[in-house]
Structure 1
Amino acid sequence: MHPAPAPELAGPWEVRALVGTLAPLCWLALTRTDWWSVGLLAAGAALFALPAIRRIVRRRLTPGAAPESVQARASQFARLSDERRELEALMSDVRELTRLCAAQIDARTAKLERLVERAEGVASRLEGAPARTGSARIESRRVTPSSGEPPPDPLAERVYALADAGRSPVEIASELSEHVGKVELVLALRA
Structure 2
Amino acid sequence: MTIEKFINELSAKGISFSFVDKEVKVKGDHNLLTNDVIREIKSRKDELQKFFSNFNQQVNVGHIPPAPEQLNYPLTSAQKRLYFLYEFDPETTAYNMPYVVSLKGQLNIQRLENTFSQLIQRHQSLRTRFVRQEQQVFQQIMPPEEVPFNIHVHEEVPEGNIEELIRSFVRPFD
Q: Would the TM-score normalized by the shorter structure come out above 0.5?
A: no
TM-score (norm 2): 0.23
Which structure: greater strand fraction? 2
Which structure: greater helix fraction? 1
